[in-house]
Amino acid sequence: MLELNAVQSGYGETQVLHGLTLEAKQGRVLAILGRNGAGKSTTLKTIMGLLPVKSGQIAFDGKPIPARPFDVARTGIAYVPETRDIFPSLSVRENLEIAASRFGAEGADWTMERVLDLFPRLGERLDNGGTQLSGGEQQMLAIARALLMNPRLLILDEPTEGLAPIIVKLIHDKLQELKAEGLSMILVEQNFGFATSLADDVVVVSKGQVVWTGSAEAIKADETAQHTWLGV
Ligand SMILES: Nc1ncnc2c1ncn2[C@@H]1O[C@H](COP(=O)(O)OP(=O)(O)OP(=O)(O)O)[C@@H](O)[C@H]1O
């Protein structure tokens, strides 16, 4: 579904991805794991058009991915960044309405009603400002907003970062529901247990390259790989 082939990318003169190759398959969850600074977030930003591809190719459904973030989103890829990027001066309702108005098509799968069914907590907070939300509520809002774009591929950067265990469990269960419905996902995550319980496929990144590829089951059983690449 999404293929990166020998991708090089980075920040200005600083090259971070050194020929990164991976594939996210339709209807499956791919976890991208690796130590701090390995290049996981850089990979996602490059897919989303937030950083330029210096060489190599990225293809979505066999076609080259557009270069600009808005066009990438329009092809059906939604991105929940590590920073969550809630509009702080807008209410929860307004944050959701913006996504729905930009990307919600007639007869689309994801409606305001449906995202509030998934996250009832947001329904209780509709008139609250973005900054009045807890970290967990902000993460729910960021995911809800991404779903309103009716993505075929949902990309999440460290969705559990800074969240209390009970909220981590809730986010896990919601993502599991989305997976059961067949939504394709890419997940960057430091929490090994969280990532491997959701993922089907795993790639491990180190120094801007993929150093391990296999199933979630295989990496759970491979203590050497965990120790070498993840310091688990
Ligand atoms: N805005 C930036 N400008 C320059 N270098 C950056 C920038 N953001 C990240 N880097 C560098 O790129 C490298 C990869 O960072 P990246 O954020 O992709 O790592 P990561 O694997 O996602 O790890 P983390 O869990 O720490 O986010 C690091 O060496 C980092 O210092």
Residue 48: per-residue pLDDT: 96
46 CB near ligand 1 (under 6 Å): no
Which of 20-24, 80-84, 116-120 is least confident? 80-84
% the chain with pLDDT above 90: 79
Lowest mean pLDDT among 2-6, 45-49, 84-88, 116-120: 84-88
Give per-residue pLDDT as tens, 163-180: 999 999 999 999 999 999
Ligand 1 pocket check for 12: Cβ under 6 Å: no
DSSP 84-140: ----TTSBHHHHHHHHHHHHPPTT-S--HHHHHHH-HHHHHTTTSBGGGS-HHHHHH
Query: CA dist 216 to 25, 127, 157, 213, Å?
Result: 14, 40, 18, 9
Query: What is the CA(107)–ligand 1 centre distance, in A?
Result: 39
Please give the pLDDT value at position 14: 94
With a 6 A CB cut-off, is 36 part of the ligand 1 pocket?
A: yes
Asked if pLDDT for residue 117 goes beyond 70, the answer is yes
- In the chain, the domains with their CATH numbers are 1-76+152-232 (3.40.50.300), 79-148 (no CATH)
Find the 5 Cα to ligand 1 centroid distance in Å.
Answer: 20
Residue-wise pLDDT for 30-41, tens only, equals 999 999 999 999
In angstroms, what is the span from residue 43 Cα to ligand 1's centroid?
A: 10
Q: Is 106 a residue whose pLDDT tops 70?
A: no
The pTM score is 0.93
- Residue 17 CA to ligand 1 center (angstroms) comes to 10
Quick check: 189 pLDDT over 80?
Answer: yes
As a whole number of angstroms, the distance between CA 34 and CA 55 comes to 22
In this predicted model, what pLDDT tens digit does every residue of 140-154 receive, in sequence order? 999 999 999 999 999
